[in-house]
Amino acid sequence: MQMLAEMRLDARENHVRIRSPHGALSLFLRHMPPPDGVKSRGVVLYVHGATFPSALSIAHRFDGRSWRDELCAAGFDVWGLDFLGYGSSDRYPEMTGTAEGHPPLCRAEDASRQIEAAVRAIAGRQSVARVSIIAHSWGTIAAGRFAGRCPDLINRLVFFGPIARRGGAGDAPASPAWRSVTLREQWDRFTAEVPPGEPPVLSRRHFAEWGERYLDSDPVSRKQTPAGVRTPAGPWFDIASAHHGDLAYDPAGVRAPVAIIRGEWDSLCTDADAHWLMSAFRSSPLRRDVKIGRGTHLMHLEAGRYALYRESEAFLCGGDTAPGE
């Protein structure tokens, strides 16, 4: 029965390719509309983080249900963007050779232009003026840069585990063009934030299934030893730069309502980071800071994911301002 239900859900998914700001390279978008008979609540674009694409985040089903499925059931048209170098989008030409000797690929400005291309294509296809965005981790830097440049295209922003500016000394370390990320590195990264003595929040069974699909996201992943997925290194460099005092966008330029949603164990979005961002988003008319217990930076893969679903859904649905205000 579960397999039949998933097949029906998958039948509603549409795949779209659009031209990227890099001319010959194309961007991949996945789209799922609400079920028939469900009242429309608008359009949402998911912007992924540094190491895995939309299929492994918003669209990945744990025990038959994904974040996207939940948002669609609530009435949203949900789109997922794969940045160049990730998932089903084209790879940068530099990723076919050595990672050294080239600047880090997919920096924030480049990524923000890719988001703009996606949003304009989605708005045209859906006949809407504005799109809401859910962005994760480094994706919040690119989305914030885009939102500051194109405020008229944004409805609401959900920043999940956003990156803030910190006061580290010196410059960010030099970076190659791209890097390969193994399953061992992902597992270690996904579980490192859980405090000693606490029960796991990420299922080994779920990770095993997710891991195979992660390797599938790069056609040459299993040709490497150990197997690893090539990812542009620009996002890593942007995060390091932000932690050395150089955040690649100005939060004061964001004029849309914004929600910060984070896990209590998230080391990349701490209480201090969220406090700084709440103050820095001073042009936003509505700001919300939501901290969810027993969650890490990868909460959308964890036991607490449904709390993340509900909080993001509630913010996107609106209805949180008094009439006439």
pLDDT of 10 reads 76
pLDDT of 3 reads 44
Which residues constitute the domain of residue 220? 2-317
For residue 5, is pLDDT > 70? Answer: no
Domain annotation covers residue 33: yes
Domain annotation covers residue 325: no
Domain annotation covers residue 322: no
What is the rounded CA–CA span in Å between residue 70 and residue 135?
16
pLDDT of 325 reads 65
pLDDT of 1 reads 44
Question: What CATH code is carried by the domain that includes residue 170?
Answer: 3.40.50.1820
pLDDT in tens, 84-132: 999 999 999 999 999 999 999 999 999 999 999 999 999 999 999 999 9
Domain annotation covers residue 168: yes
Average pLDDT over residues 256-284: 98
HSE-up of residue 33 (Cα within 13 Å, Cβ side): 12
**DSSP secondary structure, 96-162, as one string:** GS-STTSPPSS-HHHHHHHHHHHHHHHHHHHT-S-EEEEEETTHHHHHHHHHHH-GGGEEEEEEES-
pLDDT category of residue 4 using cuts at 50, 70 and 90: very low
Beta carbons of 165 and 278 less than 8 angstroms apart: no
pLDDT category of residue 168 using cuts at 50, 70 and 90: confident
The number of distinct structural domains making up the chain is 1
Beta carbons of 54 and 82 less than 8 angstroms apart: yes
Domain annotation covers residue 41: yes
Domain annotation covers residue 125: yes
Domain annotation covers residue 184: yes
For residue 71, is pLDDT > 70? Answer: yes
For residue 68, is pLDDT > 90? Answer: yes
Which tops the pLDDT comparison, 11 or 121? 121
Which tops the pLDDT comparison, 173 or 261? 261
Q: Which run of H or of E encompasses 77?
A: strand 76-82
The SS3 call for residue 135 is strand
pLDDT category of residue 8 using cuts at 50, 70 and 90: low
Mean pLDDT of the chain: 96
Which tops the pLDDT comparison, 231 or 173? 231
Percent of the chain with pLDDT over 90: 92
Domain annotation covers residue 324: no
